[in-house]
A and B are shown apart, each in its own frame.
Chain A
Amino acid sequence: MVWLLARRTLRRALSRTVLLVAGVTIAGALLFDMSMLGGGLERSLALSLGRLHYELRVLPAGTLPFATEATIPDAGRAARRIAAHPEVAWAAPLLGTTLYAEANERRRAAFAYGLTPEVPDIVRVEGPGRAGVVVNRPLAEALDLRPGDTLRLATRISPQTGTPERVITVRVGALGEFAFDLAGQRTLALPLADLQALLGAGAGEASLLLVKVRPGADPERVAAWIEDAFPALDALSVAAIVAEIRRQLTYFAHFATVLSAVSLLVAFLLIGAVLTLAVGERLGELAALRAIGLSRARLVLLILMEGLVVAGVSTPLALLLGAAISDPLDAILRSAPGVPCELHFFVGSPAAVARTVALLLLTGTLGAAYPAWVAGRLNVAATLHREVQ
């Protein structure tokens, strides 16, 4: 009965209901987007890091991967010692730096990885690979490179002559895709020993060590052991890296919270204001319902139900609209410099959907609370008398 009345009332003032649903839909869409944004980059980063098949990154203490020029001296020995731990499957050094790459009379700066064979997933080779360095598409396009071509790598350009110095010539083995490449970044990978020799780096110097723990082993326990054994190093699990960068993402978390609150406030005020005005118009009708035997509690329930119905109708529309506008918003933020291609700011999740649905339904019901209270306090006789004057 109450459900039927609520639906009929909303249908009767169709244009008002449509406007109300539209307003709540847009507020709900914003709420859904902010649910995706708050922690979205963290989730995206955790997913991307989780796809790489090693659990720990060992770095000079106080740094993050490639965030500074800090290197681990004698990294080869440290890697061997870590690999000897019973809970570690393997440990491998990785070196990263910027080099000049020259081919076909063109020169470009490129980021170079020095890798050992056991390190998986950093680079995914396209097609059959041959011996040689792996280059990504932007570098291949910039220098017009194909597998089999030769490539000159240099650590510096002479300020006096403008010519590359400390040069090695390598062969392009394959094209590949690199994890965490920035948009348009030119990247290549070559054997670690070759890059160390080119840089004149000390024996075994590396930017970080990658550590794969054995199945069933606890990465956090291994990390704690590494930090005990090597006081100058930090061992970071995926969770620890995400926690380390959380402060840098504070802006997004807070922005999402503030905008979520604003969108909920808009939905609350809209439902509250519209239903309050609607109840004011329908006092005679509500008094008549009371007079023919509808209890006060059911009358209150009727108004609350109207708020809930508005929120209920708006919720799926809000989710659809939110999903639709999250893509262009994500594209805007991903165009910022320094954002790897595979990371996203707006990440949908069942939790984000559940949160949006729950908050919208709750807001719809709470928005109807004041008009319901007004309806509940209705003086039947006086109202009916006033209405027939």
Chain B
Amino acid sequence: MVRWVGMLLLLLVLTLVSARPVAADAAAGTAAAASTDDLPAVAVPERTARRLGLRPGAVIEVSPRPFTEQGARRRFRVAVVWAPPEHPADVAREDLLLRFHLPDLESLLAADRTPVRNRQLARDRPAPPGRPPAPDRLPARGGNPAQDAGDGAGPADVVDRVVVRLRHRQRAEVVARDLDALVPGVDVYTAEEVARHVSRTFVVVSRFHRAIGVVTLLAGAIFLVTIMSLKLTEMRREIGALRLLGVSRATIGLAVLAIAAAAALLGTLVGMGVGAALVAAINAYYRPLFETRLRFAVLVPQTLLAAAVLAVVLGVGAGAAVAARLLRRPPLEQVGR
């Protein structure tokens, strides 16, 4: 039914003096090539490598405990520095990450007798001072191997989760249900469920942005209507003169609407330019600040279209209202006589 890929990737939060999960220390320079080739390999994400000053071939010493305490220590060779896919939830976090081969990490923790605790979904860490929410379903877990394997034993064959690749991706939900029933004590999530889970914060932020957008649009709409009213009121003498010359109300009304639409459209174009400049400025500021390739602001065609339509509709609406009012008045009154 399924093919186990057998590759489990554990992300370890590296706070240099934290007792859990591990502490790492970059060994001075790179040790002699002959000896380092025999060291177990570790992969380092770009951001971590930058902060620790690591390059491929560098040697780091890793311990599950702070270096101020007694604990197992092991040297690892940085095999690769790579750019992992970034997630917005991790942008503001300053965690340092290392990626080990599973047996290497197991043996390090076993040597240290580090107990394994209940864990939450890796991406569901709440912002302090919150804590893991208690979901109805916890991710797959091991137990406390210190008890499983007898006193003094470290973690043996215990993992946080297992990743499964399917032959037929579209059957993910069916397979998840089957596995749920098949393996008691673990919960099975499809990739879509995990994506939904980790995106909840951003859904909320999007809703907040939309709400703020409505308020901003309201202010903009009033601005537009006020300016359009003023502008057309200013034209009352010209309108009066045109009517005295025999130009029909309909022609003048259409001309007024055209002026209103043109002004609104011109304003929209300028606004789009300002918006694009702001988007560029926001990305230029935040991307280096958070050391990420993610874009913080994006200008999409839908936004541009909505802004243009809204501006033209409001502008023309305001123009129509003012034109109707002006055209009702006698021409002589309009020219001030």
Find out whether the CB atom of B226 lies under 8 angstroms from the CB atom of A19.
yes
Which one of A210-218, A240-248, A286-294, A347-355 is at the interface?
A240-248
Which of A233-278 touch B at CB < 8 Å? 241, 244-245, 247-248, 250-251, 258-259, 262-263, 266, 269-270, 273-274, 277-278
Which of B203-225 touch A at CB < 8 Å? 204-205, 207-208, 211-212, 215-216, 218-220, 222-223, 225
Find out whether the CB atom of B134 lies under 8 angstroms from the CB atom of A68.
no
Find out whether the CB atom of B125 lies under 8 angstroms from the CB atom of A156.
no
Find out whether the CB atom of A26 lies under 8 angstroms from the CB atom of B215.
yes
Find out whether the CB atom of B19 lies under 8 angstroms from the CB atom of A338.
no
Q: How far is the CA of A26 from the CA of B143 in the complex (A)?
A: 56
A35 within 8 A of B: no
Q: How far is the CA of A157 from the CA of B183 in the complex (A)?
A: 11
Q: How far is the CA of A289 from the CA of B282 in the complex (A)?
A: 49
B304 within 8 A of A: no
Given A98-B118, A99-B118, A329-B211: A338 and B201 interface contact (C-beta under 8 Å): yes
- With a cutoff of 8 Å between Cβ atoms, the chain B residues found around residue A30 in the complex are 212, 215-216, 219
CB within 8 A of A68: which of B20, B69, B218, B229? B20
Give chain A nearest CB distance to B101 CB in angstroms.
21
Q: How far is the CA of A49 from the CA of B128 in the complex (A)?
A: 12
Give chain A nearest CB distance to B232 CB in angstroms.
11
Among A29, A66, A263, A278, find the residue whose CB has the most chain B CB atoms closer than 10 A.
Answer: A66
Give chain B nearest CB distance to A346 CB in angstroms.
11
CB within 8 A of A23: which of B93, B119, B222? B222
Find out whether the CB atom of A337 lies under 8 angstroms from the CB atom of B222.
no
Number of interface residues of B (CB under 8 A): 70
Q: How far is the CA of A281 from the CA of B232 in the complex (A)?
A: 12
Find out whether the CB atom of A63 lies under 8 angstroms from the CB atom of B18.
yes
Find out whether the CB atom of B211 lies under 8 angstroms from the CB atom of A232.
no
Number of interface residues of A (CB under 8 A): 88
CB within 8 A of B15: which of A20, A63, A277? A63
The 0/1 profile, CB within 8 Å of B marked 1, for residues 169-195 of chain A is 000000000001010111100000000
Which residue of B is nearest A337, CB measured?
A: B200
Q: How far is the CA of A263 from the CA of B141 in the complex (A)?
A: 50
CB within 8 A of A111: which of B132, B147, B184, B215? B132
Find out whether the CB atom of B15 lies under 8 angstroms from the CB atom of A199.
no
A interface, by DSSP: helix, strand, loop or mixed?
Answer: mixed
Among B92, B135, B222, find the residue whose CB has the most chain A CB atoms closer than 10 A.
Answer: B222
- With a cutoff of 8 Å between Cβ atoms, the chain B residues found around residue A15 in the complex are 229
Find out whether the CB atom of A232 lies under 8 angstroms from the CB atom of B19.
yes
A366 within 8 A of B: no
Which of B129-160 touch A at CB < 8 Å? 129-138, 140-144, 146-147
Find out whether the CB atom of B128 lies under 8 angstroms from the CB atom of A244.
yes
- With a cutoff of 8 Å between Cβ atoms, the chain B residues found around residue A163 in the complex are 184
The 0/1 profile, CB within 8 Å of A marked 1, for residues 17-38 of chain B is 1111100000000000000000
- With a cutoff of 8 Å between Cβ atoms, the chain A residues found around residue B131 in the complex are 65-66, 96, 111, 180, 182
Which of A44-70 touch B at CB < 8 Å? 45, 49, 60-70
Find out whether the CB atom of B17 lies under 8 angstroms from the CB atom of A62.
yes
Given A155-B144, A161-B184, A336-B204: A67 and B117 interface contact (C-beta under 8 Å): no
Q: A23-B222, A60-B15, A160-B185 are in contact. List 5 more A-B contacts (CB 8 A).
A: A69-B20, A182-B133, A241-B129, A251-B92, A263-B219
Chain A residues engaging chain B, CB cutoff 8 angstroms: 15-16, 19-20, 22-23, 26-27, 29-30, 33, 45, 49, 60-73, 96-99, 108-111, 155-163, 165-166, 180, 182, 184-187, 199-201, 231-232, 241, 244-245, 247-248, 250-251, 258-259, 262-263, 266, 269-270, 273-274, 277-278, 280-281, 325, 328-329, 332-333, 335-340
